[in-house]
């Protein structure tokens, strides 16, 4: 088959779906080398190089305009090795992505070792395991449980200080050395290691007034998964310049006295735990479709 008639994985799938005479083959979700080449070309040479590789590979435009703009805006230049400083051929701009084909696909390969976790503790020390396992879902259409107010109360009633740090998503690295980082789209709050709020809500005007959002509250065993993810995120995060964050303190082990009155353990009295529960102030007229836990 000639190069001009070659079809990329996505284009071939679309052609099979549109043809009423061809039964679509089983979807192939393996790594797409054509997509990698096109993404590398966008990083190295911009939109023109991206479209050229798509044409060469017989592939469709698989990036939205927002995605393409993000990749170009977040692109980072590779570090210059000593032997290329001042060289006429230095830099990735002139690279032809079609000459970088290979049988490997490692666009997000880690460049360093796994960071050390924030802390570790035995099961007996985990406050959330002393809570009853439950899941409660709140919808923005439920006017009796305002999502914005629930999240705000959760933040203001916590007993630990909040640490301000920044963390990136995965790193995509082209063969030329140029790279860009993704974003963290996970949204969850672990309140004093007792329960988790997770959902799509953001503190923006659009989310507060016109977007529809969902918020879930988890207690008990499910919190452990968020605990693990949080510690991985914290280990790879960095302090935000210009902001002074307090020292992160691990939860008080069961039976120990709170340090300086700032930390509360799950072994505290019921009245203490209710006073810091942001959900205790809900309206008595809860929406019948929303399950709440006492």
Same domain, yes or no, for 227 and 131?
yes
Cα dist from 269 to 13, 50, 274, 275, 276, whole Å: 61, 62, 9, 10, 11
Does some domain include residue 112?
Answer: no
Reference 261, options 160, 156, 177; nearest CA is 160
Dihedral angle over CA of 249, 250, 253, 259, nearest 10: 0
Q: Residues of the chain with pLDDT > 90: what percent?
A: 31
CATH code of 156's domain: 3.30.870.10
Higher-confidence residue of 135 and 284: namely 135
Q: Number of structural domains, the chain?
A: 2
Beta bridge partners of 166: 238
Could you tell me the two tokens for 65? 């305009």
Mean pLDDT of the residues in the chain? 74
DSSP 177: S
Does some domain include residue 108?
Answer: no
| Angle between helices 9-18 and 33-57 in degrees, nearest 10 | 70
- pLDDT at position 94 is 44
Reported as a single tens digit per residue, the pLDDT across 74-90 is: 999 987 654 544 444 44
Domain containing 17 equals 9-74
Does some domain include residue 191?
Answer: yes
Given a cut of 90, whether residue 39 has pLDDT beyond it is yes
Same domain, yes or no, for 42 and 141?
no
139: number of Cβ within 10 Å? 15
| Angle between helices 65-74 and 33-57 in degrees, nearest 10 | 110
Could you tell me the two tokens for 108? 């997000």
Same domain, yes or no, for 231 and 130?
yes
Higher-confidence residue of 2 and 208: namely 208
Same domain, yes or no, for 128 and 238?
yes
Cα dist from 166 to 63, 178, 192, 239, whole Å: 26, 22, 20, 6
Does some domain include residue 79?
Answer: no
Same domain, yes or no, for 60 and 131?
no
Higher-confidence residue of 291 and 34: namely 34
Does some domain include residue 199?
Answer: yes
Higher-confidence residue of 237 and 275: namely 237
- pLDDT at position 223 is 94
Which residues have a Cβ under 8 Å from the Cβ of 284 and sit 6 or more positions away?
Answer: none
Reported as a single tens digit per residue, the pLDDT across 40-78 is: 999 999 999 999 999 999 999 999 999 999 999 999 998
Reference 128, options 85, 185, 169, 189; nearest CA is 189
pLDDT band at 117 (very low <50, low <70, confident <90, very high): low
pLDDT band at 217 (very low <50, low <70, confident <90, very high): very high
Does some domain include residue 96?
Answer: no
């Amino acid at each position: 088959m000639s190069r001009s008639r070659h079809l990329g994985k996505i284009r071939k799938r679309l052609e099979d779906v549109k043809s009423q005479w061809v039964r679509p083959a089983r979807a192939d979700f393996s790594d797409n080398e054509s997509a990698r080449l096109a993404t590398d070309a966008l990083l190295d040479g911009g939109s023109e190089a991206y479209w050229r590789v798509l044409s060469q590979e017989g592939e469709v435009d698989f990036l939205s305009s927002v995605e393409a703009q993000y990749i170009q805006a977040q692109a980072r230049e590779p570090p210059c090795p000593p032997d290329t400083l001042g060289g006429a051929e230095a830099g990735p701009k002139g690279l032809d992505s079609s000459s970088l084909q290979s049988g490997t696909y490692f666009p997000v390969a880690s460049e360093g070792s796994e960071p050390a976790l924030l802390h570790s503790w035995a099961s007996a020390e985990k406050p959330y395991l002393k809570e009853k396992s439950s899941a409660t879902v709140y919808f923005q259409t439920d006017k009796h449980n305002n999502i914005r107010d629930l999240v705000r109360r959760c933040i203001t009633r916590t007993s630990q200080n909040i640490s301000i740090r920044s963390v990136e998503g995965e790193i995509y690295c082209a063969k030329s050395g140029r790279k860009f980082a993704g974003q963290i789209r996970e949204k969850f709050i672990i309140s004093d290691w007792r329960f988790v709020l997770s959902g799509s809500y953001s503190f923006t005007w659009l989310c507060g007034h016109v977007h529809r959002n969902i918020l879930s509250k988890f207690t008990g065993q499910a919190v452990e998964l968020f605990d693990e993810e949080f510690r991985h995120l914290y280990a790879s995060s960095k302090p935000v310049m210009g902001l002074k964050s307090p020292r992160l303190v691990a939860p008080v082990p069961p039976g120990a006295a709170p340090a300086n009155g700032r930390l509360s353990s799950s072994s505290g009295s019921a009245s203490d735990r209710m006073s810091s529960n942001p959900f205790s102030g809900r309206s008595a007229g809860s929406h019948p479709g929303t399950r709440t836990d006492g």
